[in-house]
A and B are shown apart, each in its own frame.
Chain A
Amino acid sequence: MFPTLDILNDLKLVAPEVILVVAMCAAILVPFINRRNVTLPTMVAIIGLGAALIAAIFTTGQQSSSLVFSDMLAIDSFSQFFKIILMLFTLLVVMQWVLTSRDQTHAYDVPDFLCLLLGATVGMSLMASANNLLMILVATEAASLPSFVLAGFRKRTAAGSESSLKYVVFGAAASSVSIYGMSLVYGAVGSLDLAAVAEAGRDMSPMLAVGLMAMLAGFAFKLSAVPLHFWCPDVFEAAPTEVTTFLSVASKGAAICMLTRLLVNFGVTDGSFPALVTGVGILGAVTATWGNLAALQQSNIKRMLAYSSIAHAGYMIMGVSAAAMGGLNDEAIRVVAGAVLFYILVYTFMNLGAFTVAAVIARRTGSENLEDYAGLSSRSPGLAALLVVFMLSLFGMPGLGGFLGKIMIGAAMWQAGSGGVALIAVLVLNTLISFYYYVRPVYFMYLRPDTQGRPAVTIGPAITAMLVLCAVALVATGISRPDMTHVTKEYGRLVRSATFRDATTSTAATTVEAGERLVELP
């Protein structure tokens, strides 16, 4: 009755996660050697992330795609490409933390911080692979719970504690709604496998519809989509900058990958979820618009970037909803999944760069207000120029990665028919709105003279190298149109669940069995 497992083979495919768990345990154990040494746990985390990155690269190349651990996880080039981005990004976040604020963290707290960071990364990494509602639930919680504490890591500050508490309460409520939804789905379908749920959606019952809606509310929280976005600006403003950077990219990226997998699974059953898909599209459009409009009024750069991240999540949600509009073939799904991957890749560098600049400026001047960026171009011309690159890429300036990301999202929408055209209109309109607030820091830095004698911000070679790396990555992704888009499209292959695969693979029987079990009550 229970499917046999080929555990050793499956374990190879989840090597990145296993390595991360080992590194996490190691990071919390090294203080037993020397409590005051901060380099040791940091090195452990960096080595662990590096090894996980290499493992992710290897597992991508090894096998094109497969469902492992009785269909719980989907290991395909889509999930593995996201994991490569995630590991690389987390590595850079650790660097950012070392370079900008490690000296503010007490030596005793360093292992805890790294352990939580790695723990959250494990959850996010598995979110991208989750192919079963139970797996989605546990992975999401594994990503969320450490994030709650990371957000309030400076536990002595009132703002930090408040934002952390807000995050916990919102998160707990969203998870419980989501779990209740999953229980309804299970009641209606009799299985938690995504393929079985998609199959059952062919004749949608009210219970399944309500269940899916409640479940999506949990996703919306992770994505900070608009009715559930209240936590985002507060948390992003009050959390330490490296945590904000981490959450703004990794947590949202993982949730968007999860949503893509869900909708692609549903979309292929002959477009049987039109209301759901339209709903997700509208959710994305509202999120993007609301995020942009709210960002217009912000004067704190971290808060502004928080709203900007809400808007970007909205763009990605719109793109994903296009994945499931109409009956899509493999090629079309690859375009959408590739666009999502490309967007996350570019978004990683834009946000990392922008937040790092904000962090070093806040470190030197003690202010995150845009007013205090006045005259930065004469005080620290290099830093100002780099921030311009990041801002313009976030806006979507042609020639930089952000522009190409939007073009690819737009191309994905274009395939989706008239609904997609409406989404493109929303995307273009929002991009125009966002111009104002992305250019505001540029205005302050270049056109507003500094009247208060604010100090110049000097940065060390390591931070310079990191920022230049981000900027170069944005320019490279921006001008390498045929290569990079081709690469992400290649990686945009999602393995689809049992019923849609050919019957030769070992675990295909499970869902069929679930289908036969569906005996209706009188």
Chain B
Amino acid sequence: MSMLAAQMSQMPPYAVVLFFAFAALTCISAWAVVISQNIVRMAVYLLLTLGGAAGLYFMLEAEFLAAIQLIVYAGGTLILIIFGVMLTSKNPFMQLKAAGWERLVGALVGGLLAILLVFAITASHLHRLPGGTGEVNQVEQIGRGLLSQYLVPFELAAVLLLVVMIAAAYMARKRAR
């Protein structure tokens, strides 16, 4: 915790306010996703969570990541979820209700996990990674990385996407005649 406070004291005041605003947006909407009972509402709360996380990425000077977060997750994935709900659910306003004991178990597990993670992160020294300096061209850096050091995972991801596309096409198509 002291580490966090030390970090905060070095930031300009508006940045501290923004940080807490984005953090609150992310956490509160994530919590709302969990307790909400309507799947469309959940999707909208999820949008806010992802947007908040994108804001945090901006503050970390990872502009590229933030833009990708907005385009791919907030834009693409979320729309897919809504489409999925629309196409599969007979009633999009269906209520998803968890039983009382399920909530209890969920809260217990979630709480314990949160305590464990907070402890683990605050009790450890984070290593400062080479972050954005504001001047380096991030897209260029990422592009170079993808075609040099991370070439194999990048190419394998391409193969993976091809296979998944074929798999999805197989699952979706009607029985051929």
Residues of A within 8 A of B (CB): 2-5, 7, 14, 21, 24-25, 28, 69-70, 72-73, 106, 108-109, 112, 115-116, 119-120, 122-123, 126, 132, 134-135, 137-139, 141-142, 145-146, 148-149, 152, 155-156, 184, 187-190, 205-211, 517-522
Contact = CB atoms under 8 A, between A and B. Distances in A.
A-B residue pairs, 8 tightest by C-beta: A119-B163, A207-B124, A205-B124, A108-B176, A190-B127, A149-B167, A210-B120, A206-B120
Contacts of B58: none
A517 to B, nearest CB: 7
Interface residues of B, number: 38
A135 B170 contact: no
Interface centre among A137, A146, A148, A521 (most CB of B within 10 A): A521
B175 A156 contact: yes
Contacts of B148: 2-5, 70
A338 B10 CA distance: 54
19 contacts: A24-B162, A69-B152, A72-B149, A72-B152, A72-B153, A73-B152, A106-B176, A122-B159, A138-B156, A142-B159, A142-B160, A152-B171, A155-B171, A187-B121, A517-B130, A519-B127, A521-B7, A521-B126, A522-B6
A111 to B, nearest CB: 9
B3 interface: yes
Contacts of B156: 122-123, 126, 135, 138-139, 142
Contacts of A207: 120-121, 123-124, 126
B129 interface: yes
Contact of B164 (A25, A134, A145): A145
Interface in B141-161: 144-145, 148-153, 156-157, 159-160
Contact of A134 (B3, B124, B150, B162): B150
Nearest to B129: A190
Given A72-B153, A187-B121, A520-B128, 11 more contacts: A2-B144, A28-B166, A69-B152, A70-B149, A72-B150, A112-B166, A141-B160, A155-B170, A189-B127, A517-B127, A520-B125
B46 to A, nearest CB: 14
B93 interface: no
A518 B3 CA distance: 17
Nearest to A147: B167
Contact of B128 (A73, A106, A205, A519): A519
A137 B157 CA distance: 10
B124 A206 contact: yes
B64 to A, nearest CB: 17
Contacts of A24: 159, 162-163
Contact of A210 (B116, B126, B169, B171): B116
Contacts of B153: 72, 132, 134-135, 137-138
B124 A145 contact: no
B124 A188 contact: yes
A116 B167 contact: yes
A28 B159 CA distance: 13
Contacts of B127: 187-190, 517-521
Contacts of A188: 124-127
B34 to A, nearest CB: 15
A156 B175 CA distance: 9
B124 A112 contact: no
Given A188-B124, A209-B120, A210-B116, A115 B166 contact: yes
A115 B175 CA distance: 18
B118 to A, nearest CB: 10
A14 B159 CA distance: 14
B21 interface: no
Contact of B151 (A69, A146, A155, A187): A69
A132 B156 CA distance: 14
A69 to B, nearest CB: 5
B119 interface: yes
Contacts of A155: 170-171
Interface in B1-49: 3, 6-7
Contacts of B145: 2
B82 interface: no
Interface centre among B151, B162, B163 (most CB of A within 10 A): B163
Interface centre among A2, A156, A209 (most CB of B within 10 A): A2
Contacts of B119: 206
A109 B120 contact: no
A28 B162 CA distance: 11
B68 interface: no
Interface centre among A69, A109, A135, A211 (most CB of B within 10 A): A69
Contacts of A116: 163, 166-167, 170
A14 B152 CA distance: 10
B139 interface: no
A156 B176 CA distance: 12
A357 to B, nearest CB: 29
Contacts of B164: 145-146
Contacts of A73: 152
Nearest to B158: A21
A126 B129 CA distance: 28
Contacts of A134: 150, 153
